């Protein structure tokens, strides 16, 4: 008799980005940037730990004192223990080490329990099922952020190996391909693919320089995105960031694919923060007929570079040259053998 193989469960729609962990020595700058410029709620747990809130969750951004000046972990919220077991089963079947978070680590991230394992580019992947909420009022300069079932936003990552990273996320969370953008940057062509975990247009964006094994970005994460609920908050935070002297990378503009209105500013650690408003939502009705499309150019209008001086360009050139000599962590155990049909 032929053995019957159980179908691989599809957990699309049952996970979302819950929080990010940043390591930095610039704690005072981060406090001023998050609270006074972007307008987030800030809790100073101690001299070495900051937490930023967007909603009733205790933590959406955790900034801890350390040398990386980068995002070092991303926490993914999953719906229930059944989905949690599916994900851990995939990780352990691939032979990856899994570690449970300590009581102190869980408390800092505002979750009851978490498990972690290796992620691409050295950004640790963490998963949890229950976030801790608080009734303490939000002390922030924005009216509200869009979170809930969509999660806190998205991560954009530049990579020399987009197919491997795409396969990692497909094997892990069954993310689906929303679309592509091709953007010419001087003599090079940048290709970006957008992967969604649910109704948010994308939770992961992967960018690579077509035909060249280089990564021009020093940080593991190119940008983190958050979404404000009103256009008034978007424009007011843009003015605050500018008026307080924080670097603006891209001015206000609108993207071609998800139609989000946004700007990009530079965090104290060097990666960018995109603050956006009103992107396309892929509702269940749209999901039924959604087909990936390739767009020419990142923006319909705006998003013009700000402060692209010689120092910035040389920094990217040095990062690109350095990337030629360095191995990029792609977690081969999960990124070389697709576990299911790519969508």
Region 148-164: what's the mean pLDDT? 96
DSSP characters over 83-119: HHHHHHHHHHHTT---EEPPHHHHHHHTBS--EEE--
In a domain? residue 10: no
68 with 168: CB under 8 angstroms? Answer: no
CA atoms 183, 189, 190, 195: torsion sign:
positive
Q: How far is CA 263 from CA 38, 243, 276, 302, in A?
A: 11, 15, 7, 9
Residue 28's domain spans which residues?
A: 15-335
Closest CA relative to residue 126, chosen from 114, 138, 139, 108: 114
> Phi/psi zone of residue 7: left (φ > 0), alpha (ψ -120 to 50 degrees), beta?
beta
Region 276-291: what's the mean pLDDT? 97
Residue 316 binned pLDDT confidence (cut-offs 50, 70, 90): low
- The CATH number linked to 77 is 3.10.180.10
pLDDT(212) > 90: no
In a domain? residue 231: yes
- Residue 184: the pLDDT is 85
In a domain? residue 3: no
In a domain? residue 341: no
- Residue 320: the pLDDT is 52
- Residue 327: the pLDDT is 86
- Residue 317: the pLDDT is 45
For the chain, the average pLDDT equals 92
Backbone angles phi, psi at 92, to 5 degrees: -70, -35
pLDDT(21) > 90: yes
Number of domains in the chain: 1
- Residue 185: the pLDDT is 74
What gap in Å lies between CA 117 and CA 88, rounded to an integer? 9
Q: Which of 58-67, 78-87, 303-312 has the lowest mean pLDDT?
A: 303-312
What gap in Å lies between CA 269 and CA 279, rounded to an integer? 26
Residue 86 binned pLDDT confidence (cut-offs 50, 70, 90): very high
DSSP characters over 36-60: III--EEEEEETTEEEEESSSBS-S
- Residue 338: the pLDDT is 60
In a domain? residue 233: yes
Residue 310 binned pLDDT confidence (cut-offs 50, 70, 90): very low
In a domain? residue 2: no
- Residue 187: the pLDDT is 72
117 with 99: CB under 8 angstroms? Answer: yes
Residue 4 binned pLDDT confidence (cut-offs 50, 70, 90): low
In a domain? residue 342: no
- Residue 340: the pLDDT is 47
pLDDT(38) > 80: yes
């Amino acid at each position: 008799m032929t053995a019957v193989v159980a179908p691989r469960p599809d957990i699309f729609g049952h996970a979302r980005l819950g929080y990010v962990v940043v390591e930095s020595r610039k704690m005072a700058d981060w406090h001023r940037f998050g609270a006074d410029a972007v307008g987030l709620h800030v809790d100073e747990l101690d001299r070495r730990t900051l937490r930023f809130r967007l909603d009733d969750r205790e933590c959406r951004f955790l900034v801890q004192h350390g040398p990386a000046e980068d995002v070092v972990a991303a926490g993914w919220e999953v719906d229930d223990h059944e989905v949690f077991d599916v994900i851990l089963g995939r990780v352990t079947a691939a032979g990856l080490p899994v570690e449970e978070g300590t009581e102190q680590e869980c408390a800092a991230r505002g979750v009851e329990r978490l498990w972690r394992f290796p992620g691409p580019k050295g950004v640790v992947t963490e998963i949890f099922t229950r976030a801790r909420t608080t009734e303490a009022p939000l002390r922030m300069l924005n009216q509200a952020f869009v979170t809930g079932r969509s999660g806190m936003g998205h991560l954009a990552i530049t990579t020399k190996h987009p197919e491997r990273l795409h396969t990692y996320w497909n094997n892990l969370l069954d993310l689906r391909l929303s679309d592509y953008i091709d953007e010419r940057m001087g003599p090079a062509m940048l290709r970006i693919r957008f992967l969604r975990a649910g109704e948010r247009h994308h939770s992961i964006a992967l960018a690579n320089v077509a035909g060249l094994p280089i990564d021009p970005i020093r940080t593991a994460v190119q940008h983190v995105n958050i979404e404000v609920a009103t256009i008034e908050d978007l424009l007011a935070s843009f003015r605050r960031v500018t008026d307080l002297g924080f670097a603006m990378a891209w001015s206000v503009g609108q993207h071609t694919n998800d139609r989000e209105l946004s700007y990009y500013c530079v965090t104290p650690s060097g990666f960018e923060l995109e603050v956006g408003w009103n992107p396309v939502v892929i509702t269940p009705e749209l999901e039924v007929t959604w087909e990936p499309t390739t767009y020419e150019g990142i923006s319909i209008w705006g998003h013009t570079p700000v402060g692209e001086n010689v120092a910035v360009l040389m920094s990217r050139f040095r990062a690109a040259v350095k990337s030629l000599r360095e191995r990029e962590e792609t977690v081969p155990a999960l990124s070389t053998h697709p576990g299911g049909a790519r969508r």
